[in-house]
Amino acid sequence: MKKIITFLVLLLCTTPVFAATTSSDITKETEIQTRIDSVAVKLLNNNKITKRIIFAYDKRAKKKALSTDKALTKRQIIIYDGLYQHIQTDDELAAMMAREIATAMKSYDGSFGGWIDSAQVALGSKKFETVSDKRAVDYLVNAGYNPLAVIIFINKTCPQKRHDTFSRHNLTSKRLARVYEYITFKYPQYLENNEYINNEYYQNFLLTSVENRKKLEKKIRTKSTKDVDYE
Amino acid sequence: MNKFIATLLSLAFLTLPTYGIEMAPIPEVEAIETEEVVTEEVKELPYNYESTYKVPIKLGIVEPITTKGETLYEGQTLQFKVLQDTYCRRKTFLKKGTIVNAKIETLISSGMNGFPAEIILGNFEIPGTKPSQLVDTYTKKGQNRCYIVYPIKWALTIIPFVGSLTNFIKGGHARIKAKDEIVIYYYPDWK
Q: How close, in Å, is residue B12 to chain A by CA atoms? A: 10
Among candidate residues A77, A129, A83, the one with its CA nearest the CA of residue A104: A77
Amino acid B117: pLDDT: 93
Q: B77 at the A interface (CB within 8 A)?
A: no
Per-residue pLDDT reduced to its tens digit, B87-115: 999 999 999 999 999 999 999 888 888 88
Alpha helices by DSSP H, listed for chain B, are 2-23, 26-34, 146-156
Stated as kind and residue range, the H or E segment containing B104 is: strand B99-108
Per-residue pLDDT reduced to its tens digit, A147-182: 999 999 999 999 898 888 877 788 999 999 999 999
Which residue of chain B comes nearest to A9, CA vs CA? B11
In chain A, where the domains are located: 22-222
What is the Cβ-side half-sphere exposure of residue B133, based on CA atoms within 13 angstroms?
A: 18
Q: A165 at the B interface (CB within 8 A)?
A: no
Contact A32, A85 (CB under 8 A): no
The pLDDT > 90 percentage for chain A reads 56
The pLDDT > 70 percentage for chain A reads 90
Q: Please answer yes or no on whether A127 and B10 come within 8 Å at the CB atom.
A: no
Question: What residues contact A166, with CB distance under 8 A and at least 6 apart?
Answer: none
Least confident of A153-167, B6-20, B164-178: B6-20
The residues that bridge with B125 in the sheet, in sequence order, are B101
On the question of pLDDT at B36 being above 80, the answer is: no
Among candidate residues B179, B65, B155, the one with its CA nearest the CA of residue A225: B65
The minimal CB distance from B7 to the residues A5, A16, A123 is found for A5
The pLDDT > 90 percentage for chain B reads 48
Q: B107 at the A interface (CB within 8 A)?
A: no
Q: Please answer yes or no on whether B112 and A120 come within 8 Å at the CB atom.
A: no
Q: B105 at the A interface (CB within 8 A)?
A: yes
The minimal CB distance from B115 to the residues A45, A50, A127 is found for A127
Amino acid A127: pLDDT: 82
Amino acid B29: pLDDT: 47
Measure the N-to-C terminal CA separation of chain B; round to a whole number of Å: 78
Q: How far is it, in rounded angstroms, from Cα A55 to Cα A79? A: 7
Contact A153, A83 (CB under 8 A): no
Contact B120, B105 (CB under 8 A): yes
